[in-house]
Structure 1
Amino acid sequence: MRKSLVALSVLAATALPTVVSAADYSDDIHKNDYSWSQFNIMYVVDEKGAGAESNHDYLEMEFGGRSGIFDLYGYVDVFNLTSDPDSDKAGAEKIFMKFAPRMSLDAMTGKDLSFGPVQELYVSTLMEWGGNSGVNTQKIGLGSDIMVPWFGKMGLNLYGTYDSNTKDWNGGQISTNWFKPFHFFDNGSFISYQGYIDYQFGMNDDESYQSSTGGAMFNGIYWHSDRFAVGYGLKLYDNVYGFKDGEALPWAPKAESSGAAHYVSVTYKF
């Protein structure tokens, strides 16, 4: 699981199309439509979170696209594929899901709301489900696509967070994500720098193991062809999900929620 936002949003490391001009819905609301999906076989070393760090494999079904007013990113992670009893995920929740639909304010109003580096504005949402004992949050706020030197188009979203486990609002999150091809080969394949930052703030910190802030940054270097991708990602954590690193937890000896983790992946694109 990409423990943060783990937003990108949105969002996560993926081969999203690059759009360099302001959105235009003046003649056809579906003129910008597209869709994509891919399967990623992943292995992570030293993943951080609300407990001991973890090494494990998983399958990630990742998808996204655009249809009219809707922009969508999402994934479903399935852990411990062989049900290995020695896996760090043995006995844990088997599935984690994230869905991040955004609704274009430009498309809904029929107006060009771009200004400066901002290409498009959205009502942005993010939903995370981790089973009965996992992360279960819903986020809503204002989203945007912005143009940044060298990077090109990046997503930037600001959310308020509702925690379904505690039935209460719990702080906010700012997320950004990027996909930057930077070296192209003669056969059409390329190398990209892709990743995201999720930073949470204003969270409840009444308990000794809780932090008011936390977050993660994913930095991935990937080789892409039309059908395949292979990559490595370095993920940096700081009190991720608001669990204070090194503090004892009611359900675990202590939180190992800060530091670095390593991700390797092989992808097939549909």
Structure 2
Amino acid sequence: MKFKPLSAAILCTISANSIFAAPIWQDFSITGLYGTDYQLIAKEDKQTTVTFEYASKHKYGDFFIFADRTHNDVNGDQTYFEASPRLSLGAVTGKELKFGPVKDVLLATTWEAGSNMDNFLYGIGFDFDVPYFQYAKLNLYKVNNDTKADDYQMTLTYAIPFKIGSESFLADAFLDWSTVEKGSASEMNWTSQYKWNVGQHISPDTRLYVGVEHSVWNNKYNIKGKDENNLSALVKYHF
């Protein structure tokens, strides 16, 4: 019996919280995206995506999970998710693993799952202390792929909050880069969001963002020559 991706994502969230105990902080958000210029679907087809995200910080590490529910006229409805628990080596050993801009070293893992695929990533992660950044993280993975040759991946994530006058903005992004392996091209996906918090005009604590998501995806899904440069409208609400 196979779990559906969304059910497995929920189960993974519960398991991670049990392992790491009560969170120091946690955040849950829902994002709506709309775009038209995607590779591997017909150019004229419109695609909508609803993304559910959960992030938490714990005594011995952190946890992040998201699930994308996409719809377009070619492939219909599809669900994809990633769950990424990380274990802080500094917290486990009781020693500060700081050097240069690095403020912690972690064991990093990720489970990627979708239609007919399950990939497992494991490696080492670094948290950085960078001026003006809300966070900056780098994970280096060995990837056990389900449907292609195993490879290596680098994942960088960051967020930069800033203000223009009294208005609050956030620029955040992830960058995935994978190595060349037999039958697969090297893949690079840099997806960034640029958002204005209109929620501050509702109440000081409301985080309701509007903006755009920009995706630059070279050799999408490791297919050589399938390059995507897409701009999508975005609405995001944090609970």
Question: Shared topology, TM-score over 0.5?
Answer: yes
Corresponding position of 2:147: 165
Could you tell me how far 1:149 is from its partner in structure 2? Answer: 4.9
Alpha-carbon distance between aligned partners in 2 of 1:136 and 1:40, rounded to the nearest angstrom: 24
Is residue 100 from structure 1 mapped to residue 84 from structure 2 by the alignment? yes
Alpha-carbon distance between aligned partners in 2 of 1:191 and 1:95, rounded to the nearest angstrom: 29
Structure 2 residue corresponding to 1:233, chosen from 213, 219, 223: 213
Corresponding position of 1:219: 192
Alpha-carbon distance between aligned partners in 1 of 2:228 and 2:31, rounded to the nearest angstrom: 24
Is residue 121 from structure 1 mapped to residue 105 from structure 2 by the alignment? yes
Alpha-carbon distance between aligned partners in 2 of 1:216 and 1:55, rounded to the nearest angstrom: 20
Contact 1:162 1:170 (C-alpha < 8 Å) held by counterparts: yes
Alpha-carbon distance between aligned partners in 2 of 1:65 and 1:32, rounded to the nearest angstrom: 6
Alpha-carbon distance between aligned partners in 1 of 2:181 and 2:169, rounded to the nearest angstrom: 37
Corresponding position of 1:58: 49
Is residue 40 from structure 1 mapped to residue 31 from structure 2 by the alignment? yes
Contact 1:44 1:57 (C-alpha < 8 Å) held by counterparts: yes
More strand, by proportion = 2
Contact 1:235 1:260 (C-alpha < 8 Å) held by counterparts: yes
Alpha-carbon distance between aligned partners in 1 of 2:190 and 2:81, rounded to the nearest angstrom: 19
Corresponding position of 1:83: none
Structure 2 matches for 1:122-137, cutoff 5 A? 122-132=106-116, 135-137=117-119
Alpha-carbon distance between aligned partners in 1 of 2:130 and 2:118, rounded to the nearest angstrom: 32
Could you tell me how far 1:240 is from its partner in structure 2? Answer: 2.4
Alpha-carbon distance between aligned partners in 1 of 2:172 and 2:224, rounded to the nearest angstrom: 27
Corresponding position of 1:200: 178
TM-score by length of 1: 0.71
Could you tell me how far 1:145 is from its partner in structure 2? Answer: 0.8
Instruction: Rate the CA distance shift 1:103–1:59 in 2: closer, same or farther, 3 A.
Output: same
Instruction: Rate the CA distance shift 1:109–1:184 in 2: closer, same or farther, 3 A.
Output: farther
More helix, by proportion = 2
Is residue 71 from structure 1 mapped to residue 62 from structure 2 by the alignment? yes
Give the letter for the 1:146 counterpart.
F
Could you tell me how far 1:139 is from its partner in structure 2? Answer: 0.5
Question: Which blocks of at least 5 consecutive residues in structure 1 are unaligned?
Answer: 1-28, 81-85, 246-256
Alpha-carbon distance between aligned partners in 1 of 2:121 and 2:36, rounded to the nearest angstrom: 28
Q: How many residues align?
A: 212
Alpha-carbon distance between aligned partners in 2 of 1:185 and 1:64, rounded to the nearest angstrom: 29
Is residue 111 from structure 1 mapped to residue 95 from structure 2 by the alignment? yes
Residue aligned with 1:107, SS? helix
Question: Which blocks of at least 5 consecutive residues in structure 2 are unaligned?
Answer: 1-19, 200-205
Alpha-carbon distance between aligned partners in 2 of 1:32 and 1:68, rounded to the nearest angstrom: 7
TM-score by length of 2: 0.80
Could you tell me how far 1:31 is from its partner in structure 2? Answer: 10
Alpha-carbon distance between aligned partners in 1 of 2:176 and 2:190, rounded to the nearest angstrom: 7
Corresponding position of 1:269: 238
Contact 2:220 2:228 (C-alpha < 8 Å) held by counterparts: no
Larger relative CO (CA 8 A, sep 6+): 1 or 2? 1
Alpha-carbon distance between aligned partners in 2 of 1:47 and 1:128, rounded to the nearest angstrom: 21
